[in-house]
Structure 1
Amino acid sequence: MFTKKYYEDYQLDESRTTLGRTITETDIVMHAGQTGDFFPHHMDAVWCATQPFKQRIAHGTLIFSVAVGMTANEINEVAMTYGYERLRFIKPVFIGDTIHVKVSITEKKEHKKPGFGLVTEYVECFNQHGDLVMCCQHILLANKKETA
């Protein structure tokens, strides 16, 4: 769906939550193939059984990618991703875990380029138990209405 949400339209403390998505073994195998990260923590069930978590864990970068994708349900024609900051992997995600994402607007500030503002979204990813597993700040570069 296409939309136009300008800098002025974003409200502090506004939030949205996604539906859930279950992480599968196929997700992990495909991500390993795409990234070249075949570390045993993700791929070797026998070795993982000897480790503290006792099972394979999803790549942090997989959870980040899936979480970001889960939030991309609209195409905003007047804003774009400026970057991500303060990415943290808080707890492991295992095969069969279901994650959902909450996005909250936490900051708005002027951009050095006239006609634009920066909007910071705090992205929190939770597992099915409500445990925070990943978080980051997503920075958006948004057009201002005055220039539209």
Structure 2
Amino acid sequence: MTSIFYEDYELEAGRRTGGRTITETDIVLHAGQTGDFYPHHMDAEWCKTQPFGQRIAHGTLTFSIGIGLTANELNPEAFSYGYNRLRFIKPVFIGDTIHATVTIKEKNEHPKRADMGFVIEEVKVMNQHGHTVMACEHVLLVNKQRGRGKCE
């Protein structure tokens, strides 16, 4: 477990996660957990008559797996504050392998707490062809390191 304080985050710093192949089991389990049994996800024959021609993963499944892939580093100084600008750009199909890239987009002082700041990560989830299938901004609330001066 590495402590990374607000001051330690560098704009434009980035990382790439490993990949994860989306399976039919993923889709079926997600449908059961969420109650979303829309035919776009569950009915292979009906999907053949639709523009994509095959079943697609739930957007919320793509989000949960894509964001889960980014959770490979535990930082006890940062807390997830939420997500902004979430978009599902392209469909994810059974058999697609997705990975995520994370780039530090901006840092902002907390308006009420001098001991914390906001770090905005740009998250892009891509398929095996390099196409972005989902994008969002992950907002982190991060502790400042005690004893350091004000951040620049």
TM-score surpassing 0.5? yes
CA shift, 1:32, in A, is 0.3
Instruction: Determine the C-alpha separation between the residues in 1 that align with 2:25 and 2:110.
Output: 41
Amino acid in structure 1 at the alignment position of 2:11: L
Q: 1:116–1:38: structure 2 CA closer, same or farther, 3 Å change rule?
A: same
RMSD: 1.0
Q: Which runs of 4+ in 1 moved over 3 A?
A: none
SS at match of 1:75: coil
Q: What's the CA shift for 1:3?
A: 1.5
Point out where structure 1 has 5 or more consecutive residues left out of the alignment. Answer: none
The answer for the alignment partner of 2:79 in structure 1 is 80
Give the equivalent residue in structure 2 for 1:50.
Answer: 49
Indicate conservation of the 8 Å contact 1:40/1:48, yes or no: yes
What pairs with 1:84-99 in structure 2 (closer than 5 Å)?
A: 84-99=83-98
CA deviation string 1:48-69 (max 9, x = no partner): 0000100000000000000111
Partner of 1:128, secondary structure, is coil
How many Å apart are 1:147 and its aligned residue?
6.2
Match of 1:122 in 2: 122
SS of aligned partner of 1:77: coil
- How many equivalent residue pairs? 147
Does the residue aligned with 2:128 lie in a helix, a strand or coil? coil
Task: Measure the CA separation in 2 of the matches of 1:18 and 1:78.
Answer: 21
Match of 1:3 in 2: 2
CA distance in 2, matches of 1:100, 1:65: 12
Shift of 1:146: 2.3
CA distance in 1, matches of 2:137, 2:100: 13
2:33 is paired with a residue whose SS is helix
Secondary structure class of the residue paired with 2:146: helix
Is the partner of 2:32 in helix, strand or coil?
A: helix
What TM-score comes out, normalization by structure 1 length? 0.97
Write the distance in 1 (CA, Å) between the matches of 2:10 and 2:34. Answer: 37
AA matched with 1:23:
I
Instruction: Check conservation: 1:117, 1:141, Cα contact below 8 A.
Output: yes
Instruction: State the match for 1:34 in structure 2.
Output: 33
Taking the aligned partners of 1:14 and 1:108, their CA distance within structure 2 comes to: 12
Identity of aligned residues (%): 65
Measured after TM superposition, the shift of residue 114 of structure 1 is 1.7
Secondary structure at 2:139 match in 1: strand
Structure 2 residue identity aligned to 1:130: G
Post-superposition CA distance 1:35-55 (Å, at most 9, x none) = 000000000000000001000
2:139 aligned residue: 139
